[in-house]
Amino acid sequence: MAERLDTPKAARRTLLPRVRVEQDAFGKISEGIARFMGTPRFLLYMTVFCLLWLGFNTWGPESLRFDSAALGFTALTLMLSLQASYSAPLILLAQNRQTDRDRVSAEQDRQRGERNLADTEYLAREMAALRIALSEVATRDFVRSEIRNLLEELDEKETERAEAAEAARGDGTEPGLDAPLPRSSPSSRSGARDARRSSGGGRRAAAPPEPR
């Protein structure tokens, strides 16, 4: 029976058990080794190790020598090659982990920068709105200038009223009246007296005679 592409593949059983290695733990170990290999201490240790190897296989007892100088220290060459072949993948693995961390850090920095930009734009809009609102509010200097103008207008009105009162006193009118009081002439007074006499004589003529 042919396997279909839309059918999940069944797990196969193997004779040897699968070794599950925690990637994070292995990555930490590789980073520790890579960091140690990049220090002056590692170079010093490697130099001392190589000098001891060469000195022992050159001047040591012939029965105890395990790497012949005549063959060009083949064992030391193989050991250094093995160390280099393992150190290169460990360094690459540490670099990959550092690249992942840098990418995550850059993403976080980008998000933080976007939030800071949004906050800055919001604060700028709020400051502009406050500036517009404050431009429409009466300031202390504006209120003082308006009060000063009102006081000057009141002083001018008081001065004009006082001048009008002085002018009214000089014309013989009472202050506060718009026109002077009318004065009666002598002819009008004599005409009123004659009118009263004529009206009184008529009343006496019309009265009945007194009894004797």
pLDDT, position 82:
92
Structure tokens that stand for 140 in this block: 């202390």
- Look at residue 202 and tell me whether its pLDDT is greater than 60: no
Dihedral over Cα of 48, 52, 55, 59: its sign: positive
- Look at residue 44 and tell me whether its pLDDT is greater than 70: yes
User: Residue 75: inside a domain, yes or no?
Assistant: yes
User: Residue 3: inside a domain, yes or no?
Assistant: no
User: Residue 143: inside a domain, yes or no?
Assistant: no
Find all residues with CB under 8 Å of 37, minimum gap 6, and list them.
Answer: 87, 90, 91
Alpha carbon of residue 171 to chain centroid: 74
pLDDT, position 121:
94
User: Residue 199: inside a domain, yes or no?
Assistant: no
Q: How would residue 58 be classed by pLDDT, with cut points 50, 70 and 90? A: confident
Q: Indicate the number of domains in the chain.
A: 1
pLDDT, position 21:
60
Find all residues with CB under 8 Å of 177, minimum gap 6, and list them.
Answer: 168
* Cβ neighbours of 28 (radius 10 Å): 13
- Look at residue 201 and tell me whether its pLDDT is greater than 90: no
User: Residue 159: inside a domain, yes or no?
Assistant: no
- Look at residue 170 and tell me whether its pLDDT is greater than 60: yes
Q: How would residue 143 be classed by pLDDT, with cut points 50, 70 and 90? A: confident
List the domain range (segments joined by +) for residue 69: 23-111
The whole-angstrom separation of Cα 48 and Cα 36 is 16
User: Residue 76: inside a domain, yes or no?
Assistant: yes
The whole-angstrom separation of Cα 177 and Cα 208 is 53
User: Residue 129: inside a domain, yes or no?
Assistant: no
User: Residue 78: inside a domain, yes or no?
Assistant: yes
Average pLDDT over residues 142-152: 88
- Look at residue 168 and tell me whether its pLDDT is greater than 80: yes
The whole-angstrom separation of Cα 114 and Cα 107 is 11
pLDDT, position 139:
74
